[in-house]
Amino acid sequence: MSLSYRQPGVVLTDRRFTVPLDHTDPAGETIGVYAREVVASEKAGQGLPWLLFLQGGPGFGAHRFVGRPAWLGRALQEFRVLLLDQRGTGHSTPANRQTLPLRGGPAEQADYLTHFRADSIVRDCELIRREVTGGAPWTVLGQSFGGFCAVSYLSTAPEGLAAALITGGLPSLDAHADDVYRAAYPRMERKAAAHYARYPQDVERARAIADHLLQHEVTLPGGYRLTVEAFQTVGIMLGSGDGSHRLHHLLEHAFVPTTDGPRLSDAFQEEIRGLLSFAGHPLYAVLHEATYGQDARPTAWAAERVRAEFPQFDAGKTLAGDGPLPLTGETIHPWMFDTDPALRPLRETAHLLADRTDWTPLYDPARLAANEVPVAAAVYHDDLYVDTAHSLRTARAVRGLRTWVTDEFEHDGVRAGGPRVLDRLLALARDEV
């Protein structure tokens, strides 16, 4: 039974669905998928078309809005919106250190998690679409990894789509994880340089923190071990529009005087724990590189291996000189499964996934080349998380796809830009601009 309730300006309905764990075995084991239906209060009784929102990730449940902010307000002008907690996330059947042992040991857990990539998410969406729309196609809005899912949707079940709108999420159709990170590390370097140019006082602050971590063992509240390499990953903040400013505010209160000399403040430790811990989204770490697996080549901890090709990211060498501390971005490393207590029980499972050699393709270039679904994509110039050149190459490979390339926003443009990003994508998809 679905439960409906109200927030300012909207009516919400909790929707729960049962889907096969393995869509090639529809009569086999099932899992639960949750979604929240949202409609404008004044349109609650109207027969509106549907818009499905696919959250970025992997591993994050759909954003919990209050009312109708950001892009949602624009969408609710003409759509009934479904905010999907992709399998394993949010209020769907969970997959984390607490629940995965129910599957068995690491090998069984790794096999289970192979069913949590974009291809399975798309098949979930198709089952859900038939139930909620009566079979009518819907519009999909995919942010970041949600855009990867949207391209997989176009490859797998384009008949289910009235239009596809993608923000910061056009993936390479054929790049191996190594290629993704060889393109990513120079972007990380540029973003960090831009941050230090904006806040030059942060050069010394970041170096001081890193030097302290080299000399002291620091365990954050909850058991997270803060190492220099872990601290460098705060660079992930630089992919959002306000991230540089938030990073500056984090660094400015890092130390307090104590009887043992300067130490990292409780406030800093608590804030950085929230930024670095994967407790709320473990699948992001466990499955991140698997989102790029499409053939017999293992991903094999690509971000860690490729980082060795960029010696400028070695903190020890940096601190031996006087340069700014390099910061990293959206990278997952094997040491994270030692430093983070939320990931430690999943260490062996993650290694098995990294070694896997039977990944299946997520995209169909031939079908995309013959695409007939209206598609519009916002490509953020020098996006920290998704390579612009990769995105534009994919845009050229999808028949009829229209791009909006902009440097007005960072990766979070669909959130930070209010209604403008969605408004522009809808106009492009409808050939109104």
pTM: 0.97
Residue 212 bears catalytic tag: no
State yes or no: is 288 an active-site residue: no
Beta bridge partners of 10: 7, 40
pLDDT at residue 74 is higher than 80? yes
Is position 407 annotated as part of the catalytic site? no
Give the residue-averaged pLDDT of 5-15: 96
Which one from 85, 244, 411, 412 is the annotated catalytic residue?
A: 411
Question: Are the CB atoms for 118 and 293 separated by under 8 Å?
Answer: no
Mean pLDDT of all residues in 172-200:
97
pLDDT tens string 223-268: 999 999 999 999 999 999 999 999 999 999 999 999 999 999 999 9
Residues 79 and 139: beta-carbon distance below 8 Å: yes
Q: What percent of the chain has pLDDT over 90?
A: 97
So what's the pLDDT on residue 3?
Answer: 86
Q: How far apart are CA 19 and CA 93, in angstroms?
A: 11
**Domains of the chain with bracketed CATH:** 3-173+363-429 (3.40.50.1820), 177-354 (no CATH)
Map residue 32 onto helix, strand or coil.
Answer: strand
Residues 161, 54 contacting (CB under 8 angstroms): no
In this prediction, residue 329 carries a pLDDT of 86
Name the helix (H) or strand (E) containing 244. Answer: helix 243-251
CA separation for the pair 330, 181 (Å, rounded): 9
Looking at residue 2, what is its pLDDT?
A: 78
Distance CA 227, CA 48 (A): 51
Rounded-to-integer distance, Cα 264 and Cα 258, Å: 10
In the chain, how many H helices and how many E strands?
18, 13
Residue type, 371: N
In Å, how far are 134, 136, 159, 160, 353 from 130, measured between CA atoms?
Answer: 5, 7, 12, 9, 32
Of the candidates 25, 260, 322, 358, the residue annotated as catalytic is 358
Q: How confident is the model at residue 57 (pLDDT cuts 50, 70, 90)?
A: very high
Q: How many whole angstroms from its chain centre is CA 167? A: 12
Contact residues for 206 (Cβ-Cβ < 8 A; gap 6+): 251, 324, 325, 327
Q: Quick one: which of 333, 383, 413 has its CA closest to 190?
A: 383
Mind listing the pLDDT tens digit for each residue in 202-211?
999 999 999 9
Q: Are strands 263-264 and 255-256 parallel, antiparallel or unpaired?
A: antiparallel
**Is residue 80 classed exposed, middle or buried when 0-12, 13-18 and 19+ CB atoms within 10 A define those classes?**
buried
- On the question of pLDDT at 395 being above 70, the answer is yes
Annotated active-site residue in 144, 155, 172, 244? 144
Q: What does pLDDT average to over the chain?
A: 97
User: CA dihedral defined by 361, 365, 366, 369, rounded to 10 degrees?
Assistant: 150
Chain segment 101-160, per-residue pLDDT in tens: 999 999 999 999 999 999 999 999 999 999 999 999 999 999 999 999 999 999 999 999
The answer, yes or no, to whether residue 1 has pLDDT greater than 70, is no
pLDDT (mean) for 369-397: 97
Q: Of 332, 390, 355, give the one whose Cα is nearest residue 151.
A: 390
Q: Identify the pLDDT of residue 84.
A: 98
Q: Give dist(CA 227, CA 338) in Å, integer.
A: 11
Residue with the bigger pLDDT between 418 and 259: it is 259
